[in-house]
Amino acid sequence: MTARPVADILEAIYASLHNDNQDIDALIADLKTSLAADGKKEVAVDAARLAQNNRQGRKVMQAYFKKRGVAVVFSE
């Protein structure tokens, strides 16, 4: 099984966040698999593209992803 590129999964995650988190758990699992294939455990997310780009929204996202094994950092 070939892992999807991280950039493609991130685009799908951004779309999911704007669509009431539709299929977000499956996308996080795909992201975790792709990151593992690249030897990474962390992904950089563009905060400007989030549905809730405030401190609380970013912290909720970090906590949710962390529970599923993916560390999130935010790029400017």
pTM of the model: 0.91
Segments of the chain scoring below 50 in pLDDT:
none
Cβ atoms < 10 Å from Cβ of 14: 16
pLDDT confidence of residue 3: 73
> Which tokens is 18 given?
């704007």
- Three-state secondary structure call for residue 59: helix
As a whole number of Å, the CA-based R_g of the chain is: 12
- The rounded distance, in Å, linking the Cα atoms of 58 and 33 is 22
Spans of all domains in the chain: 6-75
CA 34 to CA 40: how far, in whole Å?
A: 9
Residue 75 pLDDT: 85
CA distance 18 to 38: 27
